[in-house]
Amino acid sequence: LQQRRGIRLSAPAAVQVTVRDALNQALDEELERDERVFLLGEEVAQYDGAYKISRGLWKKYGDKRVIDTPISEMGFTGIAVGAAMVWLRPVCEFMTFNFSMQAIDQVINSAAKTCYMSAGAIAVPIVFRGPNGASAGVAAQHSQCFAAWYGHCPGLKVVSPWSSEDAKGLLKASIRDDNPVVMLENELLYGVPFEMSEQAQSKDFVVPIGKAKIERQGTHVTLVSHSRPVGHCLEAAAVLAKEGVECEVINLRTIRPMDIETVEASVVKTNHLVTVEGGWPQFGVGAEICARIMEGSAFNYLDAPAVRVTGADVPMPYAKILEDNCIPQVKDIIFAVKKTLNI
C-alpha cells in the first residue's frame, strides 16, 4: 500500500552471519520442511554438536530427528546409508573427515555406487558433512583435505563452501538432492562472520550444486580456489591490486561436478591461471583443473604455464611454525601470481 502511494521503502539490509549459524539455519529449515530429514553423528544431540552446528535442534525436534551415536563411524554411516535407500534423508556428521576413513566403505561402495549398480532404481539421498582440511594445532590425523579423494569417485557430489551463503545454500541443496553428497566444511571458518543477503535469509534459498562463483572480477590472472583458501586469494588480490595487478578470484564451491566452464571463460579473459588449495599436490583439485584447461580450448589462450599453490607434500606437523609452512599463505599466492606473470 505504501508503495502504491509513492512512499519509497528501503530494502532490508544484509546481516552478518557466521558460517556456524548459517549451517544451523540450514539444518533447522530443512528438518522443519521435510519430516524425512534427520541428523545423526557423535554428540550432535544433547551436546549441541562438537562445533555447535546443531545447537538447539535436539530440544526442538527430539530423539528421532537428531540422534547421538556411539563412536563408530562405520556403524552409524551404514545405518544412515540404509535409511537413505528407503527414502529417508539423513545428514551424517563426521567429527572430522579424517575419521570418515573409518566409514569409507559405506560412503563409496554402498552410497556412491548404488544408483549406478541398480540402473537408477535405487537413489541414496544422503549428506555426509563435517570439518575438512587443516585446523590449528591438530597434527596429521586431523588435518587432511579430502576434496580430491571424494571428488575422484563417480556417484558422489562433492561441495566445499567458503562463505556463510555458500554454507547455507549448499547444505540445503545437498539435503534436497537425490544423490549422495559430501559436504566439506572448514573448522576455522565456523566462527567467521560473512555478510548474508536478504535473498540468502529466505527459507527457499539454495546454491546450485555444480556452479562456481566469481568473488572478484579481474583481468590479469585467474585465481581458482575452494573453502578457506578463497579468503586467502581475496587477500592476495587486494595486495596485488595496489601494485596494478587485477586478479579474478573464482570460488569453486563444488568439486564434483566441477564448473570448468566458468574457469575456462576466466582464463580466456586473463590468459593466466593459478590454483590454490589446502590439500596435497599429487592428483589434487588443482591438478584436475590444470588438466581440464589443457584438454580444452582455453589452453590456447594461456600466455604462461598454469601454477598450483598447494599444501606441502607431507603429513601435517603439530608445531605451529611448521604447520604454517605446510599450508598455503597469502604470500605464497602473491609469489605464484608474480611468477606466472613474470614480474
Q: Is 323 an active-site residue?
A: no
User: Coil, helix or strand for 121?
Assistant: coil
Q: Is 220 an active-site residue?
A: no
- Architecture (CATH level 2) of domain 213-341: 3-Layer(aba) Sandwich (3.40)
Could you give the CA distance from residue 103 to residue 214 in angstroms, rounded to a whole number? 34
The CATH fold of domain 16-201: Rossmann fold (3.40.50)
- Which is the catalytic residue, given 29, 30, 42, 142? 142
Enumerate the CATH 3.40.50.970 domain ranges in the chain, comma separated.
16-201
- Which is the catalytic residue, given 29, 30, 42, 73? 73
Exposure class string for 112-147: b at 16+ Cβ within 10 A, else e: bbbbeeeeeeebbbbbbbbbbbbbeebeeebbbbbb
Q: Which pLDDT score, from 0 to 100, does residue 1 have?
A: 45
Cα dihedral sign, 169-174-177-181: positive
pLDDT of 10 > 80? The answer is no
Which one is predicted more confidently, 12 or 328? 328
Could you give the CA distance from residue 252 to residue 192 in angstroms, rounded to a whole number? 19
Enumerate the CATH 3.40.50.920 domain ranges in the chain, comma separated.
213-341
Q: Which pLDDT score, from 0 to 100, does residue 247 have?
A: 98
For the chain, what is the mean pLDDT? 95
Contact between residue 221 and residue 275 where contact means Cβ atoms under 8 Å apart: no
Q: Which pLDDT score, from 0 to 100, does residue 167 have?
A: 98
Tens-digit pLDDT profile for residues 31-42: 999 999 999 999
Long-range Cβ contact pairs of 51-56 (< 8 A, separation 24 or more):
51/20, 51/131, 51/187, 51/190, 52/20, 52/24, 53/20, 53/23, 53/24, 53/27, 53/93, 53/190, 54/24, 54/27, 54/93, 55/24, 56/24, 56/28
Q: Output the pTM of the full model.
A: 0.93
pLDDT of 6 > 80? The answer is no
Cα dihedral sign, 288-137-232-180: positive
**Average pLDDT of span 80-89:** 96
Which one is predicted more confidently, 7 or 78? 78
Residue 4's pLDDT band (cuts 50, 70, 90):
very low
pLDDT of 178 > 90? The answer is yes
| Cell numbers standing for residue 153 | 569417485
Q: Which pLDDT score, from 0 to 100, does residue 120 have?
A: 87
Long-range Cβ contact pairs of 98-104 (< 8 A, separation 24 or more):
98/141, 98/142, 98/143, 98/144, 98/146, 99/73, 100/73, 100/128, 100/130, 100/146, 102/72, 102/73, 102/74, 103/73, 103/74, 103/77, 103/78
**Average pLDDT of span 70-96:** 96
Tens-digit pLDDT profile for residues 250-307: 999 999 999 999 999 999 999 999 999 999 999 999 999 999 999 999 999 999 999 9
